[in-house]
């Protein structure tokens, strides 16, 4: 998949064993902290797509994500389905969170993930004009960890069975979505990192993963000799 911002990115075409772990809907005072502890333990980097109102509520947790060296993306302010709101409301959702994330990171955020993975062309155009790349996830790697009775073993098996170089994996770190319990996600995450490390995978941010693709494309360019 290329870098046209009007086409959401679901994976990155790289032969090397790089993967991006992503977490939606946080920050959360319970589960984000636990996830950060695990990521830190194994020196793994991840990307957190944050909901603006949750950053407002748990700013110190969001700051910890940043200080821990992870990447932060825009996941709107109120987590609406973008297909159900108008253009003005979409812009407002992105702008409100953009303002909060600039204060948090001191930089312009350039990654956006639509809530529920739901969007239309107009939403992509708005995000593009605001300087965002729209990031989804590899279809086979939606862990569905928000579902009731979803066990860590199910989450683990789905990831291990479907992972490939360049994959983007979807988890959730907020107790405000679905059944409100992310303890199974936390348990599965550590086991996933341990197993994939044994398989020589490296855990990078989404932006780092995109950079790997750019580097690959540069290497493929033919050498032009001047005669």
Q: Which residues are catalytic?
A: 24, 172
Q: Is 33 exposed, middle or buried (0-12, 13-18, 19+ CB in 10 A)?
A: middle
- Please provide residue 49's backbone torsions phi and psi, each rounded to the nearest 5 degrees: -90, 105
Query: Can you read off the two tokens belonging to residue 78?
Result: 């109120």
Query: Can you read off the two tokens belonging to residue 9?
Result: 């990115």
- Closest C-alpha among 142, 143, 136 to residue 114: 136
Q: Which helix (H) or strand (E) holds 91?
A: helix 87-105
Query: Can you read off the two tokens belonging to residue 74?
Result: 């825009």
């Amino acid at each position: 998949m290329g870098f046209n911002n009007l086409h959401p990115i679901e994976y990155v075409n790289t032969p090397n064993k790089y993967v991006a772990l992503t977490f939606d809907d946080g920050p959360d005072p319970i589960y984000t902290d636990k996830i950060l502890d695990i990521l830190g333990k194994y020196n793994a980097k991840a990307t957190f797509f944050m909901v603006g109102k949750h950053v407002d509520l748990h700013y110190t947790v969001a700051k910890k994500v940043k200080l821990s060296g992870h990447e932060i993306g825009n996941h709107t302010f109120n987590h609406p389905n973008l297909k159900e709101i108008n253009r003005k409301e979409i812009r407002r959702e992105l702008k409100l969170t953009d303002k909060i994330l600039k204060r948090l990171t001191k930089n312009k955020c350039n990654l956006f993930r639509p809530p529920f993975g739901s969007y239309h062309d107009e939403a992509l155009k708005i995000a593009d004009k605001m300087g965002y790349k729209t990031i989804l996830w590899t279809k086979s790697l939606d862990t569905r960890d928000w579902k009731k009775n979803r066990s860590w073993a199910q989450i683990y098996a789905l990831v291990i069975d479907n992972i490939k170089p360049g994959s983007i994996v979807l988890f959730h770190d907020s107790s405000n979505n679905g059944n409100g319990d992310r303890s199974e996600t936390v348990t599965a995450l550590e086991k996933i990192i341990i197993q994939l490390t044994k398989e020589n995978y490296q855990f990078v941010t989404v932006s780092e993963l995109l950079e790997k693709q750019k580097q690959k494309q540069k290497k493929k360019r033919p050498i032009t000799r001047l005669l």
